[in-house]
Amino acid sequence: MDPMSKRIHLAALPYPGRGHINALMNLCKLLSLKNPNILISFIVTDEWFTFLAADPKPQNIHFATFPNVIPSELRRADDFPGFIRSIQTHMEAPVETLLRRLDPPPTAILADTFLTWAVQLGKCLNVPVASLWPMSATVFSILYHFDLLEENGHFPADLSERGEEIVDYFPGVSKIRLADLPSFFSGNGLQSVGFAVKSARFVDKSQFLISTSVYELESSVIDTLKEKFPFPVYTIGPSTPYFELESSATNDYLRWLDSQAEGSVLYVSQGSYLSVSSAQMDEIVAGVKASGVRFLWVARGDDDRFKDVDRETGMVVGWCDQLRVLCHRAIGGFWTHGGWNSTLEGVFAGVPMLAWPIFWDQFPNSKKIAEDWKVGVRFKAVGGRDLVSRVEIAEFVKRFMNSESIEGREMRNRVSELQEICRRAVAKGGSSDSNIDAFLSHISVEL
């Protein structure tokens, strides 16, 4: 019997944050495109359901909801450790109740790696659990092998004194400065590192590791993970809605982009929930305006700073269809906080990136962008100094958007090469495409 003809019922459990939910939903959509016979229950809080309900999705993906037992999305940025604690303590029971009520019962669980308790739930329900890691494989390896940092006297460490020290012992990970590791040396990062390390180690107990990376972009570290685990490790990235780009779309900002010269617009987005300090934001906004470069800016409600912006200087939106924007021919650069989804979207769209990391994995991602892949630049000063001035920012932006300089040309050539790698990975028979097929076959066999 063709395994694809069996009825798989996948319970998809996202960590309740935009970057995580998007990555899991995109994977679910891909699975459903590949196997229209699959049934997927996408499990979110009532609050997240209100955010997501209107988004288009295939008919075989259903939402199943549980009460708002965790703080609202808005409080995530204010109290990250508290947010994580409540995910560890308040989410499991209502999700278990819900899973036990699903009809038909789930045949597999696809859960964000941060939901460590999902592994135990799968055991109780006697179904396999695939752990979805929505950050880079590099960051996974760093967290999984966190002991090495301690053994080598690199944790804890005061980055103001030791930030330049090089770490070269994480399996498959290229040399990295202490300052470029995830921001777990102080503040909120320090308070949540235990949770992140535990999450990575819990993967030992799952039946699959699914990474939203692209094999060819991180092959050395992914090869070490494949050797380490006795179960399949599948890269399926980028987990972004490239499969929806064919459908036509128009709105005010896309029409504005249509009227702009090729490669002339800087797209500015700092992800879904974090921001730099208010004083720094003042400098950034003033600096970008002073650069004279036209911009499309995702202000997420912070509109007061942009009152003087007209359509000659730029366009400000609350939220946008990011991948579609990045793929627009008018976009010539992407100012990003270096979230993993945004990083891969920039590569997929072939747009050079200017990285300004704010928190956590955005530091190693920005290092990858600027140094490993050489598809962008970053503000070296970030993290090390209090305020970067508007004058410095204006100069930096002008240089970054200059596609004629040697540096500008090299960066653009390089990002085109990586774009090609990404497109090949998701095309029929490519590494990500084949891995999605393999995962589907695997969970069919488990039926």
Q: Which residues bind ligand UDX (CB under 6 A)?
A: 17-20, 22, 134-135, 240, 269, 271-274, 298, 319-320, 322-323, 339-342, 345, 361-362
- Identity of the residue, 8 or 139, whose beta carbon is nearer to ligand UDX in the bound complex: 139
CB nearer ligand UDX, residue 127 or residue 325: 325
Closer to ligand UDX at the Cβ: 271 or 376? 271
Identity of the residue, 114 or 146, whose beta carbon is nearer to ligand UDX in the bound complex: 114
Please state, in angstroms and rounded to a whole number, the distance separating the CA atoms of residues 427 and 430: 5
CB of 321 to ligand UDX, least distance (A): 6
CB of 2 to ligand UDX, least distance (A): 34
Least separation in angstroms between residue 265's CB and ligand UDX is: 15
Contacts of 440 (CB under 8 A, 6+ apart): 3, 4, 8, 31, 34, 35, 38
Which residue's CB is nearer to ligand UDX, number 3 or number 81?
81
Among 186, 182, 187, 188, smallest CA distance to 146 is for 182
Token pair of 344 as six digits? 């891969």
Nearer to ligand UDX by Cβ, of 371 and 395: the residue is 371
CA-based torsion, 213, 128, 142, 85: positive or negative: positive
Give the whole-angstrom CA distance, residue 396 versus residue 266. 12
Q: Residue 323 or 443: which CB sits closer to ligand UDX? A: 323
CB neighbour list of residue 178: distance below 8 Å, 6 or more residues apart? 154, 157, 159, 162, 163, 164, 165, 166, 167, 185
Give me the residue label for tokens 């990586």: 418
- Confirm if 421 and 430 have CB atoms less than 8 A apart: no
Nearer to ligand UDX, 368 or 390 (CB): 368
How near is the Cβ of 306 to ligand UDX at its closest, in Å? 15
Which of the 8 DSSP states describes residue 370? I
- Distance in Å from the first CA to the final CA of the chain: 12
3-state helix, strand, coil in the chain (%, to 5): 50, 15, 35
CA dihedral 209→47→274→315, nearest 10 degrees, is: 110
CB of 103 to ligand UDX, least distance (A): 32
Shorter beta-carbon distance to ligand UDX: residue 140 or 185: 140
C-beta of 58: minimal distance to ligand UDX in Å? 19
Q: Which is nearer to ligand UDX, 75 or 399 (CB)?
A: 75
Residue 53: both structure tokens together: 């309900």
Q: How far is the CB of 343 from ligand UDX (least distance, A)?
A: 7
Nearer to ligand UDX, 238 or 332 (CB): 238
Residues 6+ apart with CB under 8 A from 420: none
Contact status, residue 128 vs residue 100, Cβ threshold 8 Å: no
Residue 266 CA neighbour count, 13 Å, CB half: 27
Please state the closest distance from residue 124 (CB atom) to ligand UDX, in A. Answer: 28
CB of 149 to ligand UDX, least distance (A): 20
Torsion sign over Cα 91, 94, 97, 101: negative
Would you say how long the chain is, in residues?
447
How far apart are CB 67 and ligand UDX at their closest, in Å?
23
**Rounded to an integer, what distance in angstroms lies between the CA atom of residue 40 and that of residue 278?**
41
DSSP per residue over 225-286, as a string? HHHH-SS-EEE----S-GGGTTS----HHHHHHHTSPTT-EEEEE-TTT----HHHHHHHHH
Residue nearest to ligand UDX (CB): 339
User: Shortest distance, CB of residue 445 to ligand UDX, whole angstroms?
Assistant: 30
